[in-house]
Structure 1
Amino acid sequence: MTKVLLSIHVLAAIIAIGPVTVAASMFPAAARRALAATDAGSGSAVVHTLHRVCRVYAVVGIVVPVFGLATASSLGVLGDAWLIVSMVLTAAAAAVLGLLVIPRQSAILTDLGTPAGSTTEAIAETRRRALARLAMHTGIFNVLWAVVTVLMIVRPGSTTGV
C-alpha cells in the first residue's frame, strides 16, 4: 500500500504543482506585455489562462500533502525532522500561493481593462511595482517547493544510504 500512496503522491506533485510553478512564473512577464499593449485585449487571453491554471491546479494540488501524509504515516516517519520541516514549508508555499500570488494575479487581471496609453505615469509605476512584487512572491513560492522537493529526495537522517 505504501508504494501506491507514494506513487500517487509523486504523480500528484508532478501533475499539480509543476503547472502551478510554471504558470505562476510566466504570469508577471505575460501581464507586463498585456498591460503595455495599446490594444486592451492584446495578450489578456494568455494572462487569464495562466491565472486559471494557477487557480485550478492549486486546488488539485491539495492531493499532494494529503497523500504525502498518508505515505509518511504508512512509513512511520511522521515524527522525523525532515518531514516536519517539509510540512511547514509546504504550508508556507500554500499560504504564499493562496494569500499572495493568486490574489495579486486577480488584481492585475482587473487592471488589464485599462489600456496602457490611457494611464498616467503614476499608474504605470504602480503597475510595475505590483508586477515586481508578484514576481518576488512567485519566486518565493517556487523556492519553497524546490526545498521541499530536495528534502523529499535527500531525507536527512534516512537509512536508505542516500
Structure 2
Amino acid sequence: MTKFLLAVHVLAAIVAVGPVTVAASMFPPLARRALAAPGDDGTAGTLSLLHRICRVYALVGVVVPVFGFATASRMGVLGSGWLITSIVLTLLAAVVLGALVLPAQGAFVAGEGTNSARLAMFTGVFNLLWAAVTVLMIVRPGSTTGA
C-alpha cells in the first residue's frame, strides 16, 4: 500500500505541479509583451489560457499533499525534520500561488495588471519553493536509502 500511495503522490506532483510551474513561468514574459504591444488578441488569449491552466492545476495539486501525508504516515516519518520542512515550504508555495501569483495573473487577464516584474518575482519564489521541496523529497536528510 505504501508503494501505491507514494506512486500516486509522485505522479500527482508531476501531473499537477509541473503544468502550474511551466504555465506560471511563461506568463510574466508574455504579460510584458502584452504591455509593450496592447491590442494583440493572440497574446491576451494565451495569457487567459495560461492563467486557467494555473488555476485548474493548482486545484488538482491538492492531491499531492493529501497522498504525501498518507505516504509519510505509512512510512512512519511524519515527525522527520526534512518532512516538516517540506510541509512548511509546500504551504508557503501554496500561499504564494494562491495569494500572489494567481491574483496578479487574473489582474493581467482582466486588463488591470501593469507590474509584470512583480509577477515574475512572485512566480520565481513559487518555483524556488517547489524546487526546494523536490530536493528535500529526493535527498531526505537521514534517509536510509544511501543515495
Is TM-score (shorter-chain normalized) higher than 0.5? Answer: yes
Deviation at 1:37? 2.0
1:13-24 aligned at under 5 Å gives the runs: 13-24=13-24
After TM superposition, the score normalised by the length of structure 1 is: 0.87
Amino acid at match of 2:95: A
Other-structure match for 1:30: 30
* Unaligned ranges ≥5, structure 1: 113-125
Offset at 1:36?
2.1
Report whether the alignment pairs 1:158 with 2:143.
yes
The answer for the alignment partner of 2:77 in structure 1 is 77
Is it true that 1:107 corresponds to 2:107 in the alignment?
A: yes
Q: Distance in 2 between matches of 1:36 and 1:93?
A: 30
Percent identity of paired positions between Structure 1 and Structure 2: 66
Residue aligned with 1:159, SS: coil
The reply on whether 1:149 has 2:129 as its aligned counterpart is no
Unaligned regions of 5+ residues in structure 2, if any?
none
Instruction: Say if 2:119 is the partner of 1:140.
Output: no
Kindly tell me the number of residue pairs found equivalent between the two proteins: 147
CA distance in 2, matches of 1:68, 1:79: 13
Looking at structure 1, the residues matched to 25 and 130 of structure 2 have their Cα atoms a distance apart, in angstroms, of: 13
Cα distance in structure 1, aligned partners of 2:67 and 2:42 = 41
DSSP-derived class of the 1:101 partner: helix
Q: CA deviation at 1:40?
A: 4.8
For 2:123, the aligned partner's letter is T
SS at match of 1:43: helix
TM superposition shift of 1:69: 0.3
Cα deviation for residue 9 of structure 1 reads 0.2
1:75-111 C-alpha deviation (Å, 9 max, x unpaired): 0000000000000000000000000000011111112
Q: Does the C-alpha gap of structure 1 residues 28 and 93 become closer, same or farther in structure 2, counting only changes over 3 Å?
A: same
In 2, the alpha carbon distance for the partners of 1:41 and 1:62 equals 33
Q: 1:38 deviation in Å?
A: 4.2
Q: Tell me if 1:44 matches 2:25.
A: no
2: CA distance, partners of 1:39 / 1:148: 39
Structure 1 residue identity aligned to 2:138: I
Matched AA of 2:109: L
Choose 1 or 2 for highest CA Rg: 1
